[in-house]
A and B are shown apart, each in its own frame.
Chain A
Amino acid sequence: DIQMTQSPSSLSASVGDRVTITCRASQDISNYLAWYQQKPGKVPNLLIYTSSTLQSGVPSRFSGSGSGTDFTLTISSLQPEDVGTYYCQKYDSDPWTFGQGTKVEIK
């Protein structure tokens, strides 16, 4: 099965900083990658699908890029409400594996 590896596992940044999270697939998954945000105590929320398409209602400071095996989620200007854990997920074929998550905190 294809493994999904996120880095870093956690990060701490200041409000207004540009934040980048990386997700690497162990094999080519084309652009079948989604990103989710899970705020503390809340249900996960879909941010981005097909690697770079912003889900309706998601702030434009979130963006995604990549294809094949290497993907990136970028928050252009970190806001206090962005605190939470971010997960990538492959969905080219089963299993629809999630990455292990990246916890984002405010410094």
Chain B
Amino acid sequence: EVQLLESGGGLVHPGGSLTLSCAASGFTFSAYAMNWVRQAPGKGLEWVSTVQTPPNIFYADSVKGRFTISRDYSKSTVYLQMNSLRADDTALYYCTKDQGRGRGFHIWGRGTMVTVSS
């Protein structure tokens, strides 16, 4: 069974840092792009970042220069390092798996909550 398990969320002060992890299982991790999507409380979905394979990397303008996505093939894990966090980064962060060949994000984790507050 394909699974994505996020971890690393929590409460952080403005300006602080946090690193999210997404452990993947049940598929060939090296063959698919992975993504982070976030959802602020009561709001819609916002694409955050994508790491393709080979590792072309993309970021939303709202996080560019502050967030860094990476993947560890040996651990089948994708990371999102978040620096200079702001209140508007408060959201549930989902890890998603690309279905490949332009067929959308077909697997979503349950998400990990990040709260930025003083």
Q: Which of B44, B50, B60, B99 has the most CB atoms of chain A within a 10 A radius of its CB?
A: B44
Give the total of B residues in contact with A, Cβ under 8 Å: 21
Given contacts A49-B99, A87-B45, contact A43 B104 (CB under 8 A): no
Contacting pair A46 B61 (CB below 8 A): no
Query: Interface code A58-87, partner B: CB below 8 Å = 1, 0 otherwise?
Result: 000000000000000000000000000101
Contact B45 A34 (CB under 8 A): no
**A48 to B104 Cα, complex, angstroms:** 8
Q: Would you call B27 an interface residue if the criterion is a C-beta within 8 Å of the partner chain's C-beta atoms? A: no
Q: Mark out the residues of chain B between 19 and 53 whose CB falls within 8 Å of any chain A CB in the assembled complex.
A: 35, 37, 44-47, 50
Residue-wise interface mask of B (97-111) relative to A, using a CB-CB cutoff of 8 A (1 in contact, 0 not): 001001111101111
Contacts of B93 in A (CB 8 A): none
Q: Which residues of A contact B104 (CB under 8 A)?
A: 34, 36, 46, 48-49, 55, 89, 91
